[in-house]
Amino acid sequence: MKKNTFLYVFVFIALLFPSGLKAENDTLKYVDASTFELIGKGFSDTENLYERLPASLKDKTRPAVWSLSKNCSGLAIRFRTNSRIIAARWELTGDVTMNHFAPTGIKGVDLYCLEKGKWLFVNSGRPNGKVSRSVIVKNMEGKEKEYMLYLPLYDGVSRLEIGVEQAALIDNPRIDSPRKDKPVVVYGTSITQGGCASRAGMSYTSQLSRMLDRQFINLGFSGNGKLDLEVAEAMSGIDASCFVIDCVPNVSAGLMKEKYVRFYEVIREKNPETPVLMAENPRYTHMAFDQKTRAAVHEKNSLLKGFYQELKKKGDRHLYYLKAGGMTGDDLEGTVDGVHLTDLGFKRQAGHFYPALRKIIK
């Protein structure tokens, strides 16, 4: 039994991890990522650098929301380098584990490179505990290129360093992509936050940011997109190209009646002409079998449709609506647990949002 266990450990450690990385890692220089451009951040006045809500909300919002705002979903470091190797060293605040979510997605980092105006996946940095060190890519040409390193979706980062060859250049980007100007702000749930993408670049907001060449501010709070008005208040101060409200999965029909329109109004009052997109609850794949869930989702989406129609009737010419039909495909294969999307589901969801948002933000 002992022998078997040892073999398992040996097989998995020796064969799934690329070899030879340790030696390379030791010869690199590591630069604090805080010296580079941080994108996807909605508020400059956060308690710590890699966080998503202003410090002023600390005692105003619910502890669960505050805690989740310290997860880094949507944040990314922009830099350029001519190094043939790129590595990362990062310290997590939580070292969170979940049973339906790959650690790379929860707490890894994810590198993209800009090639001919298109962001391409390079590789992920795999987490190995509270402090991780990972060679992300090696054997590159050594040409100067623009990079984007996504931070963890479901954990916090207290420190991040980027490793490159000793003699390599590493500096702030030359190119403004995804463009800073007037970001899209997305408020929502665990799905919005990126549960359960295999790596941070595959959440739907990350994908859309690359597809639309526009920064996205991810305000997804797992299980807690419950229409907290102080969050709407904070959001309303962002000079956005569009506000997306995508929180229906986290609210009951009762809570929707109580707060949904008010949440919208808080944003609208300060932003009379900014597009607002109301998104329906995605059709959970297990709704094909779970009748109670199916009924609940249909009820909430009808309610949402009603709010939308009423607000349009009152004259809001900048309000938009996104239907759930087709959002995650029609083969029921896009989720890991009926609700949370895999990379397959997120690819489809990004494709569903894309034409709507492209039209809205032009």
Q: How far apart are CA 66 and CA 247, in angstroms?
A: 17
Q: Which of 38, 49, 64, 261 binds its own copies (CB under 8 A)?
A: 64
Q: Does 121 bind its own copies (CB under 8 A)?
A: yes
Q: Which of 60, 128, 144, 318 binds its own copies (CB under 8 A)?
A: 128
User: Using alpha carbons only, what angle is made at residue 223 by residues 220 and 228, rounded to the nearest 5 degrees?
Assistant: 65
Provide the token pair at 293: 């869930």
Q: Does 337 bind its own copies (CB under 8 A)?
A: yes
Provide the token pair at 52: 């998503």
Kindly tell me which of 280 and 343 has the beta carbon lying closer to its own copies: 343
Number of residues located near its own copies, criterion CB under 8 A: 72
Q: Which of 151, 149, 136 is nearest to 24 (CA)?
A: 136
Give the per-residue contact string, 133-172, with its own copies (x = CB under 8 A; - = no): ----xxxxx------------x------------------
Q: Does 94 bind its own copies (CB under 8 A)?
A: yes
Q: Does 173 bind its own copies (CB under 8 A)?
A: no
Q: Taking the complex as a whole, how short is the minimal distance between the CB of residue 174 and its own copies, in angstroms?
A: 19
| Residues linked to residue 163 through DSSP beta bridges, in sequence order | 30, 87
Tell me the window of 35-43, 95-103, 229-237, 309-317 that interacts with its own copies (CB under 8 A). 95-103
Kindly tell me which of 139 and 166 has the beta carbon lying closer to its own copies: 139
Kindly tell me which of 46 and 241 has the beta carbon lying closer to its own copies: 46
Kindly tell me which of 251 and 360 has the beta carbon lying closer to its own copies: 251
Euclidean distance between the first and the last CA atom of the chain, given in angstroms as a whole number: 62
Residue with tokens 């298109």: 118
How many other CB atoms are found less than 10 A from the CB of residue 44? 7
Q: Does 81 bind its own copies (CB under 8 A)?
A: no
What backbone torsions phi and psi does residue 251 show, to the nearest 5 degrees? Answer: -120, 145
Q: Does 330 bind its own copies (CB under 8 A)?
A: no
Q: Does 32 bind its own copies (CB under 8 A)?
A: no
Rg (CA), the chain: 21
User: Using alpha carbons only, what angle is made at residue 60 by residues 59 and 64, rounded to the nearest 5 degrees?
Assistant: 80
Residues from 4 through 23 that contact its own copies (CB under 8 A) = 4-5, 7-8, 10-12, 14-16
Residues from 303 through 322 that contact its own copies (CB under 8 A) = none
Q: Which of 103, 178, 188, 282 binds its own copies (CB under 8 A)?
A: 103
Tell me the window of 120-128, 171-179, 231-239, 297-305 that interacts with its own copies (CB under 8 A). 120-128
3-state secondary structure of 217: strand
Q: CA separation (Å) from 94 to 32, 72, 131, 225, 352?
A: 20, 12, 10, 21, 33
Tell me the window of 116-124, 231-239, 298-306, 312-320 that interacts with its own copies (CB under 8 A). 116-124
Residues from 211 through 240 that contact its own copies (CB under 8 A) = 222-224
Provide the token pair at 310: 């009423």
Q: Taking the complex as a whole, how short is the minimal distance between the CB of residue 1 and its own copies, in angstroms?
A: 9
Residue with tokens 């991810």: 218
Q: Does 356 bind its own copies (CB under 8 A)?
A: no
What backbone torsions phi and psi does residue 216 show, to the nearest 5 degrees? Answer: -115, 135
Q: Does 108 bind its own copies (CB under 8 A)?
A: yes
- Whether omega for the bond prior to residue 196 falls within 30 degrees of 0, making it cis, is yes
Q: How far apart are CA 281 and CA 263, in angstroms?
A: 17
